[in-house]
Amino acid sequence: MIVVMKPGSSQKQIDHMIERIEEMGLRSHVIVGTDRTVIAALGEKRDGAKQALETGEGVEKVVPILAPYKMASTEVKKERTVVKSHDLKVGNCHIGIIAGPCSVESREQILEVAHIVKEAGAAGLRGGAFKPRTSPYSFQGLKEKGLQLLAEARAATGLAVVTEVMAPEQVQLVAEYADVLQVGARNMQNYPLLEKVGEAGLPVLLKRGPSATLDEFLLAAEYILKTGNTQVMLCERGIRTFEDHTRFTLPLATVPYLHQTTHLPVVVDPSHGTGKASLVATMAKAAIAAEADGLIVEIHPNPEVAMSDGFQALTPPAFRQMMQECRKIAAAVGREM
């Protein structure tokens, strides 16, 4: 850390900061500049120190040098993580596709979709059984019944089941049926949930919160990694901005930036990222070109009667076409899917 003193700060204030830095077990190093003094605080320390030092009298700001996350960092682990479940492989040049309805609605619906997903060449089946809904008056999911239907669809197709878990006390139940536990965007900083999900030992799909910085996103992943579970996929699903022609703004530079900073695979969700079925396939292609390690896409046999989010679901034919086009892009960037 670099402690930047205000211009005109007193020697007493500077000495006080040096003392505090050394109390923290760090080495201090004073640099007297033209306008002001800065103090470098050296040593291994990632948290709390910055904030504590910032309150010192005469301090203008404290500039961190190290990234705040550790285990997610490429500095700590060079080889890229590959997340695997059944035939789903995500990361290190393997592109994994996860598709399915927003919500599991019925046996017929989920089985029909599962076959479509399988035949189009995807390896993961998404589908919500416990649904977080903005309004308490909306359909909240089939709950355990939905999980059973997902398991049935897996049995029929061999797809890996990816489904959301909303609360720590649901983790055990969901883990009995699911292959991959999804943590939704609203829960990215639900720390008790992250810990429970990590402990369950299954692969995790962690969605970025719509106002989370990438540092915050990686620190959320760190909660899971800290339990010893390293099978974590990061999912970009759009951020909240002033734009009003899409549901969220999908910032694809997340993908190459995360590839530089973390070994964890990065999946893109063009369905929530745009909120418009007519934009999904194009953004799926752009994500693959940006070297995304996977996609998670909403499809529905008949979007018009979907119980949630039909407006962003692809029809089966549109999904098949998206898959074909994405394969061409994958080939163009030297990857297979």
Residues 84-103 that bind a copy of itself (CB under 8 A): none
Closest to a copy of itself by CB, 153 vs 200, is 200
Please work out the total of residues on this chain that contact a copy of itself, with binding judged by CB under 8 A: 109
Binding segment toward a copy of itself, per CB under 8 A, in 116-124, 174-182, 211-219, 229-237 = 211-219
Selected from 14, 20, 171, 200, the binder of a copy of itself by CB under 8 A is 20
Planar angle of CA 109, 176, 127, nearest 5 degrees? 25
The CA distance from 29 to 108, in Å, is 68
Looking at beta carbons only, is 43 or 201 nearer to a copy of itself? 43
Pick the piece of the chain touching a copy of itself (CB under 8 A) from 108-116, 153-161, 171-179, 329-337.
Answer: 329-337
In single-letter form, the type of residue at position 58 comes to: G
The answer to whether 298 contacts a copy of itself (rule: CB under 8 A) is no
39 CB-near residues (< 8 Å, 6+ apart): 2, 3, 5, 14, 17, 18, 21, 28, 29, 30, 31
Using CB under 8 A as the binding rule, whether residue 43 contacts a copy of itself is answered as: yes
Angstrom distance (rounded) from CA 162 to CA 65: 37
301 belongs to the binding site for a copy of itself (CB under 8 A): no
Closer to a copy of itself by Cβ: residue 87 or 112: 112
Nearest to 329 by CA among 269, 297, 270, 285: 285
Closest distance to a copy of itself from the beta carbon of 281 (Å) = 9
Least Å distance, CB 116 to a copy of itself, is: 18
Q: Does 192 bind a copy of itself (CB under 8 A)?
A: yes
Q: Length of the chain in residues, anyone?
A: 337
Identified binder of a copy of itself from the candidate list 24, 36, 92, 115, rule CB under 8 A: 36
Residues 6+ positions from 313 with CB-CB distance below 8 Å: 101, 102, 271, 277, 298, 299, 300, 303, 306
